[in-house]
């Protein structure tokens, strides 16, 4: 049944994108560069490169050349990710919508999930998801929990809050403190399907910077949480190569702080960015989607080969 369940979900995803004229693409699994993200570790293939942690960079090369909306379903690999919500190899959907802003992509993400559930409902028992999904800013969640503005709170205060919750007593970056506090006290309480938007600047990754309703600078990105689990992650895609280089260098500085190996800069990607059309892109974990809508307690259930 699990084989059929995955097959029908993949069929529904492809049906949705083909019906909206989004082109399916395939990019190499082995890449020259490791991920520059501080806490995502790539798996090296000796003498060849690294198994990709996401098809993001390769797909952006295609975007810069062809300009069209594209999607891909592929295996991705991340070292040491083991647990009921994690695997070192898992399946990812990633898509980029040319000319979309983040609001349109948010609406499409919900529309896609509605479509998938409708397509598979006749043959599988699925968890009931409440539509429309909720939307809330990162700032609102943080204020409600800690009575602090995450965009302006001092590093000292973040350190104090984290240490009071037993975070290991070593130096951490602003992003690490925020991640720890969010994951421990906020994320587990997000049970209804909820889009969290307007992330702190230090968590922009490869998203553009914008201004929120109160004029504060924020990362123009969202994440979708369901039952305390992050299901999707999306950006208004950054096209400023100088800014991305700065962020890569900042990541390497934090990697050095933690005694990790620096990652060489992908200059081919930097050259591609200015050629990309305005676009918004998202990634979604297929295995987590299966877990959520089936009500399974463990993501590993969907990899049984017995």
CATH of the domain at 268: 3.30.930.10
Residue 305 has pLDDT above 60, yes or no: no
Q: Measured between alpha carbons, how far is 136 from 197 in angstroms, rounded to an integer?
A: 6
Residue 135: phi and psi, rounded to 5, are -135, 130
Domain count within the chain: 1
The whole domain housing 164 covers: 2-303
More confident residue, 240 or 171: 240
Buried b / exposed e along 90-122 (16+ C-beta atoms within 10 A):
bbbbbbbbbebebeebbebbbebbebbbebbee
- For the stretch 169-186, pLDDT in tens is 777 899 999 999 999 999
pLDDT at 284 over 80: yes
pLDDT at 1 over 60: no
Q: Phi and psi for 184 in degrees, rounded to 5? A: -85, -40
pLDDT tens sequence across 190-230: 999 999 999 999 999 999 999 999 999 999 999 999 999 99
Instruction: Kindly tell me the burial class for residue 251, based on how many C-beta atoms sit within 10 Å of its own C-beta (0-12, 13-18, 19 or more).
Output: buried
How confident is the model at residue 82, as a pLDDT?
67
Per-residue pLDDT tens over the stretch 28-37 = 999 999 998 8
Mean pLDDT of 11-27: 98
Round the average pLDDT of the chain to a whole number and report it.
Answer: 93
How far is C-alpha 105 from the chain's CA centre?
Answer: 13
Give per-residue pLDDT as tens, 218-228: 999 999 999 99
Evaluate if residue 306 carries a pLDDT over 50. no
Residue 187 has which token pair? Answer: 């994320």
């Amino acid at each position: 049944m699990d084989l059929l369940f995955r097959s029908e979900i993949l069929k529904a995803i492809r049906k949705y994108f083909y019906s909206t004229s989004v082109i399916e693409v395939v990019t190499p699994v082995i890449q020259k560069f490791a991920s520059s993200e501080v806490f995502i570790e790539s798996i090296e293939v000796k003498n060849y490169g690294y198994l990709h942690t996401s098809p993001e960079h390769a797909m952006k090369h295609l975007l810069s050349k062809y300009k069209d909306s594209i999607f891909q379903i592929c295996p991705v690999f991340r070292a040491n990710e083991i647990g009921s919500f994690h695997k070192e190899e898992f399946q990812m959907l990633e898509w980029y919508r040319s000319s979309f802003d983040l609001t349109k992509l948010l609406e499409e993400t919900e529309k896609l999930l509605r479509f998938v559930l409708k397509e598979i409902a006749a043959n599988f028992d699925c968890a009931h998801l409440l539509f429309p999904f909720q939307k809330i800013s990162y700032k609102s969640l943080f204020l409600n929990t800690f009575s602090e503005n995450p965009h302006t709170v001092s590093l000292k205060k973040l350190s104090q809050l984290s240490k009071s919750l037993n975070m290991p007593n070593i130096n951490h970056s602003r992003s690490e403190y925020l991640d720890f506090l969010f994951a421990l006290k906020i994320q587990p309480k997000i049970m209804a399907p909820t889009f969290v938007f307007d992330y702190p600047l230090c968590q922009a990754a490869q998203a553009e910077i914008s201004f929120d309703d109160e004029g504060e600078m924020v990362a123009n990105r969202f994440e979708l949480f369901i039952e305390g689990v992050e299901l999707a992650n999306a950006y208004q895609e950054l096209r400023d190569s100088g800014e991305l280089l700065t962020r890569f260098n900042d990541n390497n500085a934090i990697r050095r702080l933690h005694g990790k190996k620096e990652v060489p800069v992908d200059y081919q990607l930097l050259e591609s960015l200015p050629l990309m059309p305005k676009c918004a892109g998202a990634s979604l974990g297929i295995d987590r989607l299966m877990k959520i809508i089936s009500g399974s307690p463990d993501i590993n259930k969907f990899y049984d080969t017995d």
